[in-house]
Amino acid sequence: MLSSKLFLFHGQTDDWLKQEGNELIIRFLCNDPTKMIHSCFVRCEPNNEDRLIQCEKIELSFLSDFGVIYQARIPLSTHVDNTYYAIKCLTDKNQIWLSAAGTVNRIPGLESHFKYNAQHRPPQWVQSQVFYQIFPDRFCQGNPDIAVKTDEYLYQNGEHRVIAKKWGEPVAQAGHESTGASEFYGGDLKGIANKLDYLQHLGISVLYLNPIFTSPSNHKYDTTDYLNIDPHFGSNTEFAQLTDNLHQRGMKIILDAVFNHTSYEHPWFGRYQADEYSAYKRPDSPYRDHYIFTQQSSHEEGSNVEDRYIAWNGIDTLPKLNFLNHDVQHYIYKGESSVLKYWLKPPYHIDGWRFDVIHMLGEGVGAYNNTHYVKSFRASAKAVNPEAYIVGEHFYEATQWLQGEQEDGAMNYYGFAHPIRAFFAGLDIAYHAIDINAQELDIWLAESRGKIPWLNQLAQLNQLDSHDTMRFLTQLAGDQQRLKAASMLLFSYPGVPCLYYGTEVALQGGQDPDNRRCFPWNELDINSELFIFYQQLIVLRKNRKELQVGSYLTLYAENKCFVFARHYQGECTIYAVNLNKNSGQDKSEKLSKKNEEIKLDVLNLITKAQLFSGFDSLYQQLQCKVNNQKLILNLPFNYALLLSSQNSH
């Protein structure tokens, strides 16, 4: 079964990596048909000192059938939580290094070394889940009696009318004068509870809800009461019943933690309230130091609000909390009855928190000591529930928060959504045109994976879109074939897949707030090809252990054709996509579709299976047999497939 090419591989699953006491056992595969390599080492840095530990050859179950298995024992680092290591192989005239970013012929930078955190690990339950994000006002209405009524109250001191809309009516256009945050469709907790059968039928196992605490807006990122469900969504009792129902079904739920700022209508701040103790109106208020004021004089009519207090992103409706204040610390996360702990405890028992703009939480305008606070949030949550999932929102790179001791995972924009958007839709984060090929996609993905420990990679929350982005189908100009191809990658890539509500029924939407349209229940067809396609994807994800915890290996990345494998204990699943087009001979000639034939070396699949079966983005069932130690994939244009090993043992 051996290849004629040199092949080095180290997975970070328990096949390849194991902790015993204060040591790590490192194993890797070397297929070296021309006998180039004569010595192998593992490089590590215990106590900040460089060490090279020589490897020995071992026999290891079926893995030895694919080449020589090398093993070394290295000490766990004691000066930092993460143990960093890389593999060094020597030839007569050169050297080959293997790190989390791939192979190079020189020592790789520490940021791309393999990483193992022996102290802090994400909860294991996360790896096997399928998440579903719900924007509560737009998912389902269960109790019309509690819905917001037109002109029921003033929003932003009457700058915008509060408007009740009929389910499914168009959402307001974006812009400064938009009523996007003050129009309501009546979705609520009872509506979510009424659709749990639907969600389970789809295959969803965890709900992530956008904020549900008391707030004057529909998005509720401007909190006025952290300890009560917004009455237009339901009650605390109803929420306790919902979480109990979910847990009885074997499902879980995480909530949105908006702790960086409050609404300027929060009782502490009270910009428009008559409360004599409001921080905005009285420098001697007991809540004044709960926020960050830039001048201490009393309120003067007509003064420049931006000059008086710090607000999130300069938006004066969202005054930033002052985490240097001990009362704020106690209320948000330190106290036994703090917001962070309150919802993790009975009778609610939520299963984790998604932290809004977590990179901005800290002291002052610059979020100083942010690491300290994120660690404290984690410790407070884990003290109540050690298996609580802590996930942060970062629109950009989140490496420094994902080394194990802060977040379990992040909303993986930089390491997943951005590169996938660039490759499939030709758009960057700002919706500017970008054209990356498969090689560039592979480098981007490998770089972001390699910077964080493997278990945190598996806990990344991967999405194609969210409440803060244009819907992915809209980015693709409605191309459902390409949506399915990208979704197949979402469900096979390391990390946890999360669907934004309505994706499974082809719900479209532009930028915020159009991306928050109502779920089209009146048009629902659970027998539609797209819905059944997502069901099948979810079943595959749940049934194949390698898609939950398996090692990752890129098999092919050329032009617009990208192929990778996930493998675990002899089982393997392959993802492949082809977006290639032939170039025209002149400007008048249109680009033509291009078929690709990819021949995969069976060695790289690390399985004895001779038969692979699965399905493609056309919803066709497939079977492929290994022939002469090769697996041949035929990939038409705008096409993807998933193939899993069969009868490998």
* 543-587 pLDDT, tens digit each: 999 999 999 999 999 999 999 999 999 999 999 999 987 554 444
Q: Show the beta-strand stretches assigned E in 417-536.
A: 461-462, 496-500
Q: Is 136 helix (H, G, I), strand (E, B) or coil?
A: helix
pLDDT of residue 7: 93
Tell me the residue type at 270.
Answer: G
Residue-wise pLDDT for 312-354, tens only, equals 988 999 999 999 999 999 999 999 999 999 999 999 999 999 9
Which residues lie below 8 Å from residue 354, measured CB to CB, with a gap of 6+? 208, 254, 255, 256, 257, 391, 392, 393, 411, 461
Residue 360: its pLDDT value, please?
Answer: 93
Q: How many CA atoms lie within 13 A of 121 on its CB side?
A: 13
Closest CA to 300 of 276, 278, 281: 281
- On the question of a cis peptide bond just before residue 494, with omega within 30 degrees of 0, the verdict is no
Quick: pLDDT tens for 217-233: 999 999 999 999 999 99
What is the percent of the chain where pLDDT is above 90? 84
Give me the residues paired with residue 615 across strands. 621, 642
pLDDT band at 305 (very low <50, low <70, confident <90, very high): very low
> For residue 592, is pLDDT > 50?
yes
- Give the pLDDT confidence score for residue 492 in this predicted structure: 98
> Is the pLDDT confidence value at 16 over 60?
yes
pLDDT at 306: 39
14 is catalytic: no
Write down the catalytic residue from 238, 265, 393, 514. Answer: 393
pLDDT at site 585: 44
Instruction: Report residue 428's pLDDT band, with 50, 70 and 90 as the boundaries.
Output: very high
- pLDDT > 60? residue 501: yes
Q: Quick: pLDDT tens for 408-423.
A: 999 999 999 999 999 9
What pairs with residue 355 in β-bridges?
Answer: 257, 392
Which residues are registered as beta bridge partners of 641? 576, 616
Residue 297 has pLDDT above 70, yes or no: no
What is d(CA 474, CA 448) in angstroms, rounded to the nearest whole number? 26
Tens digits of residue pLDDT in 240-261: 999 999 999 999 999 999 999 9
Q: Which helix (H) or strand (E) holds 189?
A: helix 189-194
Please compute the mean of the pLDDT values over residues 292-320 and round it to a whole number. Answer: 71
- Give CA 54 to chain center in angstroms: 37
The string of pLDDT tens digits covering residues 364-405 is 888 899 999 999 999 999 999 999 999 999 999 999 999 999
CB 190 within 8 A of CB 238: yes
Q: Is the predicted pLDDT of residue 459 greater than 50, yes or no?
A: yes
pLDDT band at 1 (very low <50, low <70, confident <90, very high): very low
Average pLDDT of span 507-519: 96
Structure confidence by residue, pLDDT tens digits, 53-75:
999 999 988 888 889 999 999 99
Mean pLDDT over the full length of the chain = 93
* pTM attached to this predicted model: 0.95
Q: Is 356 a catalytic residue?
A: yes
Map residue 339 onto helix, strand or coil.
Answer: helix
Of 525, 523, 527, 570, nearest to 545 by C-alpha is 570
Among 356, 447, 504, 571, the one annotated catalytic: 356
Distance CA 222, CA 214 (A): 9
pLDDT bracket for residue 2 (50, 70, 90): very low
pLDDT 10s digits, 95-120: 999 999 999 999 999 999 999 999 99
Q: How far, in whole angstroms, is CA 220 from its chain's centroid?
A: 21
pLDDT at position 298, please?
A: 47
The H or E element containing residue 631 is strand 630-635
Spatial CA neighbour of 573 closest among 622, 635, 628: 622
User: Which structure tokens are listed for 554?
Assistant: 């890129």
Confidence of residue 301 (pLDDT cuts 50, 70, 90): very low
